[in-house]
Structure 1
Amino acid sequence: MNEQQKLKKATYHLYTFLVSKMIGALGSHIYSFGISMYILSMTGSSLSFATNIILSYLPRTIMSPIAGLLGDRFPRKWLVLGGQTGVILTISGLLLYTHEFGLSLMAIYIATVFNSIFGTFSGVAFSASIANLVDEARLQKAMSFNQLSYSISGIGGPIFGGMLFGFVSMEMFLIIFICAAVMTLMLESTMNFILYKKETINDNAEKESMFESFKAGFRYVNTKPIIKAILWTALWLNLFFTAINVGGDYILLTILNLDPKYIGFTEAGGAVGILITSIYFASRATVKFPLLTVKRSVFASSIVVILSSLPLIVTFSALMNFIYYLIIMFLFGALGVITNTPLGVLMQTSIEEEYRGRVFGIIEMMAMSAMPVGTLVFGILYEFIPAQYILIVSGLILIGIVLLLLRPSILEMAHPELKKAKLETEPVTE
């Protein structure tokens, strides 16, 4: 295949995975919204809601390194399509059970576990393949398109979910998710996952045991200080950002008594923020100092966590609560893209092909490992401590984390140009 044909295929990949991820995420958003509202309406407990989130995070934490390891040893396309097929079978099984016996909390929990396992294999393999799907010049555009797909579906998903909830059975939510997953599977099956794969020389790859190969991934990360700093940052940030993930719907539905359809619109506000920011990144040049951009955006997100407590301190009308949280979610969405897009490009370009699957698996594990703990802890805390105190303290801790782990010395290590620019601007003393 000549360069012109590869560029044409890469363009096809850009728009195909935009559409496929958009459809898949739309179905997932509608399903997740319906299940979340069902659990909260049925139990009224943030702990039951948090348990479902834990059962989503825990399998991802455990299986991510395994998925990454297999992604470096076997064709990643097999893992992507196999994982997607597993998701379809899982939700189809839940639909059949619901039709025969009715939906139950235990059935939701079991489906969540298997959905998370299969989704992990598909997600890690796909993330490790993005640099193989498009040329390096369009990596930022590809990462932006990936965010864009989730934003478009994120706008429609909660809105449709809020409109459908209470008017259709939960079986309809399951059917929508299955149809979307099938369409995603069909589109991803047409993609060439080795289009820009670089040939690597690793004589020990075939001789290594699975365990040795797994350890080699950790040794590789240990030789990359920047990647290691990113991993530890992800671990602690995900622990404390769980405060808003667990508390968001609980605060809106249970404390502020917002109608579910309005909650859907507030969640869509986050997707609008993702949409606008993703379009911006897709049309601009690659960020010059990605880790500095990440530090600033995470710092701003920490401030937004603190600000999200204001309606719990000052009494607003229902309309004002809706508008306020719509703005809060918009900011979270926009800042998330400002964090994830430059970070994704940095990781795709700085990790060697032969280790990319394992490193992305380790990243996923580190990012997810704190979330089950955080979800359980915050699920319990919201039962006993006023939500505003939880949000304020979490936001302050997040500020401290970003200042410590992404300190100037780490930024200068990632971007030596920053140190050079700093030296050039310092006054000369006698």
Structure 2
Amino acid sequence: MSATTATGTIRALSSGSRTFASFAQRNYRYYFAGALVSNTGTWMQRTSQDWLVLTQLTNHSTSALGIVSALQFLAMPFLAPLAGAVTDRFPKRKLLLVTQTLLGLTTLMLWALVASGTVELWHVYLFAFVQGIVASFDNPARQAFVSEMVPDALISNAVGLNSMSFNAARLIGPGIAGLLIAAFGVAPGMLINTVSFLAMILALVSMNAHHLHPAAPRRGRGSAREGLAYIAHRPDLIMVMVMVFMLGTFGINYQITNAAMATRVFHRGPAGYGMLGTIMSVGTLAAALIAARRRRPRLSTLVIGMTGFTLSTIASALAPSYLSFAILLIPAGLFGIVTMTCANSMVQMGTEASKRGRVMAVYMAIVMGGTPVGAPIIGWVGDVLGPRQMVLVGPLATGLTTLGVLGFLMVHRGLRVRLERGWPPHLHVWTSEELEAAQQSAEPGR
């Protein structure tokens, strides 16, 4: 498809549905296209790297996979205040050009070790840690950059479309990687990922800087501490971050759980493992489309997402066959991504623009920084108790968290929950403040 045709298609979509409203912004269209290519490469890399560790560098050790995941995110919680301050102080587009280039170079070096046949497990550990350091700055910059490409009214839509890009790539990448591994080994998928970073770099370079609307850069000392202090005085943000911490730390560990279930429970090869990621992406892509259509995130969406993830993941852990396990990954992925995108939008839209970079740095550190805790635990449970018990750790954590949050809101914020029967059923969740505001707006003369 030519660039002109693709642009025309995107414009038609954006004019025809609010789902694609952010595509009306030229800079965002470039960003979306670059991210789609780069994310596809990232999923190919993850699938290839997992297979390398699981079958070539270890004897199907889920603990080793857990260590790799932990090292990828180990630096994030420690660097989050600094990364947020850097994101708010420097132009985000230039910062992203630096981080994307560094990430591309590190993947190139790892590919060279794999292609030459000299790679060892400690190499994978080392590059996972280094990439995690770079990602500590890349992630908050990417999250905060959304608000510079689109107007405030489209932030929620753009966050949903970002998730759609990520999960569309998840639909494509693992399946292609599995086929490449079966035919040629793990090296080709890693090389494609290296090349895919060029798409994101090209998109950033091609943007019109005059059409961006950045917040005024923050100067001076203490800016990192200000971000933490801001969050400390926002119980609504803290509540959201607690929920996504438990989901990200113990729930969304498919990199480990799918690999163990595919190889040790259902005895599948690389194509079967890659296909699990592709099938699950049907649900995550649908979730991203749902998120893109929502104008404003709601508390009820978080509750429904966490509950749905808990129930569907329990069912997947008990699945009797490969096919049933794969099918149950669809609702699990859908509810997980609904929760994540809703939480992301709530944090971004509820934060002052001048502090958004620092708050998003803390948010990303909480979402991903729990992995150094959760991934080794998940991997250890898989080695000691078995893959099915490993999968059950996630819904146990998210289920208890959901009950705890609901109990807290009922006691301290007058939470009210009502389920409307019918199809589809609707769950309504209000705090006392929201209910009072709705009643006041409904009064005559207001």
TM-score with structure 1 setting the length: 0.85
Q: What RMSD over aligned residues (CA atoms) do the two structures have, in Å? A: 2.7
Segment drifting more, 224-233 vs 355-364? 224-233
Counterpart secondary structure, 1:258:
coil
Deviation at 1:240, TM superposition (A): 2.4
Partner of 2:48: 34
Query: Is 1:108 paired with 2:116?
Result: no
Closer, same or farther in 2 for the Cα pair 1:279/1:238, shift >3 Å?
Answer: closer
Write the distance in 2 (CA, Å) between the matches of 1:8 and 1:422: 33
Partner of 2:94: 78
**What per-residue deviation string (whole Å, max 9, x for no partner) do you get for residues 71-124 of structure 1?**
111111122111000011111222333445522222222222222222332221
For 1:31, give the aligned amino acid.
Q
Counterpart secondary structure, 1:189:
helix
Closer, same or farther in 2 for the Cα pair 1:390/1:85, shift >3 Å?
Answer: closer
Write the distance in 1 (CA, Å) between the matches of 2:134 and 2:432: 37
Partner of 1:164: 180
Query: Is 1:295 paired with 2:303?
Result: yes
Residues 294 and 343, structure 1, Cα contact 8 Å, conserved in 2: yes
Counterpart secondary structure, 2:380:
helix
Residues 252 and 336, structure 2, Cα contact 8 Å, conserved in 1: no
Matches within 5 A, 1:364-383: 364-383=364-383
Write the distance in 2 (CA, Å) between the matches of 1:306 and 1:112: 30
**Higher RCO (C-alpha 8 Å, min separation 6):** 1
Partner of 2:133: 117
Partner of 1:3: none
Match 2:283 to one of 270, 273, 277: 273
Partner of 1:4: none
Deviation at 1:35, TM superposition (A): 0.9
Residues 81 and 227, structure 2, Cα contact 8 Å, conserved in 1: no
Q: Figure out how many residues of one structure are paired with residues of the other and give that number.
A: 402
Write the distance in 1 (CA, Å) between the matches of 2:294 and 2:357: 27
Residues 40 and 173, structure 2, Cα contact 8 Å, conserved in 1: yes
Deviation at 1:355, TM superposition (A): 0.8
Residues 135 and 196, structure 1, Cα contact 8 Å, conserved in 2: no
TM-score with structure 2 setting the length: 0.82
Write the distance in 1 (CA, Å) between the matches of 2:359 and 2:193: 30
Deviation at 1:45, TM superposition (A): 0.9
Query: Is 1:155 paired with 2:155?
Result: no
Partner of 1:332: 332
Q: Percent identity?
A: 20
Match 1:232 to one of 228, 242, 253: 242
Counterpart secondary structure, 2:207:
coil
Partner of 2:38: 24
Deviation at 1:198, TM superposition (A): 6.1
The runs of 5 or more residues in structure 1 that have no matched partner are: 1-6, 425-430
Query: Is 1:253 paired with 2:267?
Result: no
Write the distance in 1 (CA, Å) between the matches of 2:382 and 2:187: 30
Residues 235 and 367, structure 1, Cα contact 8 Å, conserved in 2: yes
Residues 242 and 378, structure 1, Cα contact 8 Å, conserved in 2: no
Segment drifting more, 263-272 vs 8-17? 8-17
Partner of 1:286: 295
**What per-residue deviation string (whole Å, max 9, x for no partner) do you get for residues 189-235 of structure 1?**
223578453655x9xx53x32xx221111111112111121222223
Deviation at 1:360, TM superposition (A): 0.7
Deviation at 1:241, TM superposition (A): 1.1
Residues 159 and 341, structure 2, Cα contact 8 Å, conserved in 1: yes
Match 1:87 to one of 90, 100, 103: 103
Closer, same or farther in 2 for the Cα pair 1:367/1:345, shift >3 Å?
Answer: closer
For 1:366, give the aligned amino acid.
I
Residues 258 and 273, structure 2, Cα contact 8 Å, conserved in 1: no
Match 1:416 to one of 430, 433, 439: 433
Deviation at 1:419, TM superposition (A): 5.3
Write the distance in 1 (CA, Å) between the matches of 2:347 and 2:198: 30
Deviation at 1:23, TM superposition (A): 0.4
Residues 81 and 228, structure 2, Cα contact 8 Å, conserved in 1: no
Matches within 5 A, 1:382-397: 382-392=382-392, 394-397=394-397
Closer, same or farther in 2 for the Cα pair 1:338/1:41, shift >3 Å?
Answer: same
Closer, same or farther in 2 for the Cα pair 1:161/1:411, shift >3 Å?
Answer: farther
Closer, same or farther in 2 for the Cα pair 1:120/1:417, shift >3 Å?
Answer: same
Closer, same or farther in 2 for the Cα pair 1:57/1:416, shift >3 Å?
Answer: same
Residues 80 and 123, structure 1, Cα contact 8 Å, conserved in 2: no
The runs of 5 or more residues in structure 2 that have no matched partner are: 1-20, 416-429, 442-446
For 2:386, give the aligned amino acid.
P
Deviation at 1:337, TM superposition (A): 3.1
For 1:352, give the aligned amino acid.
E
Deviation at 1:265, TM superposition (A): 1.6
Closer, same or farther in 2 for the Cα pair 1:391/1:337, shift >3 Å?
Answer: closer
Closer, same or farther in 2 for the Cα pair 1:278/1:243, shift >3 Å?
Answer: closer
